[in-house]
Amino acid sequence: MLAITNAIIVTVDDCNAVIKDGTILIEGRSLAYVGPSDCVPCIPAGATLIDCAGKFVAMPGLIDTHNHSSLIRGVAENLNLVDWLPVYDLEHRTCTPQDARQAYRLGYMECLLNGTTTVQDMYRFMDQAAQVAGELGIRAFLAPYAADMPPYDFFESSEANEQLIKDWHGAFNGRIQVEAGIEDVFYAGETMYRRALDMHEQYGVRIHTHGPEHAEEETTARKRFGMSIIELLNNRRLLGDFLSLGHCVPISRHDMELIAAAGASICHCPVSAAKLGCGTAPVKDMEEVGINVSLGSDGPIDNNSMDLFQEMKVASLMQKVHYADAKAFDATHMLRMATINGARSLGIDGSVGSLEQGKLADVILISLNHPSLRPVCWNDNDSTTLIWALVFAMQGSFVDTVIVDGQLVVRHGHLVTADEQEIIDDAQRQGVDWMKRRNAAATHVLAPIRD
Ligand SMILES: [Zn+2]
């Protein structure tokens, strides 16, 4: 048993309860007790004890619901999405299993150190992702980057996706979940969408794909298909509670109603949307029609970092600006978006996403020993200023301890499941090599998709 005592616990339960002096008991993979320290059942003598002495916050691990691992960052900058995509494709045209492996090692390490305990990753050669996630200890939903329309058929195939399901779905006590992944309606044809639905029906896996990202894509879709991207997905029977959609920035009320009626989720990626000139997604409207909206980093290639604490802050600020409403997207709202809403996007809100007895133990501890988090003050009703610090003053590097599925994977700000320096050195070597191959391919950049 692992006992975390004298912690401030931000539970993110249905009442958003915060426990001023709390204890968490972890038995195996599960939370055996989450509650006030003065009501705690007796802690067995052999338990491993982490005494927080009132100087650490415990909260659910963050859930990054839209990510693309990569070793390529700081290139393909200053480009709007539609011009950016063919430049981004260069890395996929030159990607090897070894490139992907080092991308997963570096990326999942970055996620864990920043307090992200679950990642939904869409990338290549994902048998490598399953192995790396298994080794490092992160919870991973793997959606192969699949495309079948020439000239984009250098991405993953439906056959490779199905093999990945057979080989890895449910591995490591269910910590690895494989999904049917599809790039988007411009990269994948009707057959590939049908195959994704078949995999969902045959293996019970979820589906992850891109919704509309930039207004230019919507214009092209209307010209090419005579309808919006969401309407096309609806025609292809993709909309359902088994689907999560990345982005969805340009989106009509009608599209939102289709998504809400189907029970599908949207993975909102504000930093990526801003950097690629896509604009601000109308998240308040999405939520008003009843859509579950979670957060995603979109990965290092267009975000440059994977710190969901920063993502929460940017997301909130962009919505406040978009709606000219200071009351929109307060700290409690953002904490839910980065945790329980993420779990709902992945269909696992019954088992992770909040700190409640019986759920799986995905817990992070944040050190309060940082000037921007102090002072912590309490009101009579036990509400605290700390909630605002966790969203607007927090950095991922303040995360001290990360527990996933009951296993300690980060302690005192360092990975305990692998050698950090080795991961960084390997990524540096592989990244430089990959960049050379990628740059050599840059003599033949594909034309942007623009009808
Ligand atoms: Zn994406």
Q: For the segment 249-287, what is each residue's pLDDT rounded down to a tens digit?
A: 999 999 999 999 999 999 999 999 999 999 999 999 999
- Same domain for 380 and 292, yes or no, is no
- Give the residue from 313, 345, 377 where a domain finishes: 345
CATH number, domain of 138, equals: 3.20.20.140
- Same domain for 276 and 402, yes or no, is no
- Same domain for 202 and 317, yes or no, is yes
- Give the residue from 345, 370, 394 where a domain finishes: 345
Q: CA separation (Å) from 56 to 10, 31, 317, 364, 400?
A: 11, 18, 26, 10, 9
In a domain, 157, yes or no: yes
- Number of C-beta neighbours around residue 126 at 10 A: 31
Would you place residue 114 in the very low, low, confident or very high pLDDT band (cuts 50, 70, 90)?
A: very high
In a domain, 448, yes or no: no
Number of domains forming the structure of the chain: 2
Distance from Cα 357 to the centre of ligand 1, integer Å: 34
Distance from Cα 211 to the centre of ligand 1, integer Å: 9
Distance from Cα 68 to the centre of ligand 1, integer Å: 6
Full residue range of the structural domain in which residue 21 is found: 2-60+358-415
Distance from Cα 210 to the centre of ligand 1, integer Å: 6
Tens-place pLDDT, residues 58-91: 999 999 999 999 999 999 899 998 898 988 999 9
In a domain, 421, yes or no: no
CATH number, domain of 48, equals: 2.30.40.10
**Residue 116 confidence (pLDDT) above 90:** yes
- Same domain for 180 and 304, yes or no, is yes
Tens-place pLDDT, residues 392-421: 999 999 999 999 999 999 999 999 999 999
In a domain, 430, yes or no: no
Distance from Cα 378 to the centre of ligand 1, integer Å: 40
- CA-nearest of 347, 348, 280 to 314 is 280
Distance from Cα 244 to the centre of ligand 1, integer Å: 12
In a domain, 170, yes or no: yes
- Same domain for 31 and 130, yes or no, is no
Distance from Cα 23 to the centre of ligand 1, integer Å: 38
Distance from Cα 330 to the centre of ligand 1, integer Å: 26
**Residue 41 confidence (pLDDT) above 90:** no
Distance from Cα 120 to the centre of ligand 1, integer Å: 10
In a domain, 24, yes or no: yes
- Same domain for 21 and 77, yes or no, is no
Would you place residue 295 in the very low, low, confident or very high pLDDT band (cuts 50, 70, 90)?
A: very high
Distance from Cα 127 to the centre of ligand 1, integer Å: 19
Contact criterion met (CB below 8 Å) for 48 and 389: no
Contact criterion met (CB below 8 Å) for 53 and 285: no
Distance from Cα 25 to the centre of ligand 1, integer Å: 37
CA 177, 180, 186 angle in degrees (round to 5)?
145
- Same domain for 402 and 383, yes or no, is yes
**Residue 27 confidence (pLDDT) above 90:** yes
Contact criterion met (CB below 8 Å) for 63 and 346: yes
Query: CB-based burial of residue 46 (10 Å sphere; 0-12 exposed, 13-18 middle, 19+ buried)?
Result: exposed
Q: Provide the pLDDT for residue 322.
A: 97
- Same domain for 409 and 262, yes or no, is no
Determine the 3-state secondary structure of 201 from DSSP: helix
Distance CA 408, CA 399 (A): 13
Distance from Cα 315 to the centre of ligand 1, integer Å: 16
Radius of gyration in angstroms for the set of CA atoms belonging to the chain, rounded to a whole number: 21
In a domain, 156, yes or no: yes
Distance from Cα 208 to the centre of ligand 1, integer Å: 10
Distance from Cα 88 to the centre of ligand 1, integer Å: 11
Distance from Cα 184 to the centre of ligand 1, integer Å: 9
- Same domain for 33 and 108, yes or no, is no
- Same domain for 128 and 207, yes or no, is yes
Indicate the range of 79-83, 236-240, 287-291, 348-352 predicted with least confidence: 79-83
Q: Provide the pLDDT for residue 451.
A: 79
Average pLDDT over residues 15-44: 95
Tens-place pLDDT, residues 170-192: 999 999 999 999 999 999 999 99
- Same domain for 167 and 259, yes or no, is yes
Distance from Cα 298 to the centre of ligand 1, integer Å: 5
- Same domain for 399 and 301, yes or no, is no
Determine the 3-state secondary structure of 84 from DSSP: helix
Average pLDDT over residues 116-144: 98
Distance from Cα 302 to the centre of ligand 1, integer Å: 9
**Residue 3 confidence (pLDDT) above 90:** yes
Average pLDDT, the chain: 96
DSSP type of residue 451: -
Distance from Cα 304 to the centre of ligand 1, integer Å: 13
Distance from Cα 433 to the centre of ligand 1, integer Å: 24
Would you place residue 311 in the very low, low, confident or very high pLDDT band (cuts 50, 70, 90)?
A: very high
In a domain, 303, yes or no: yes
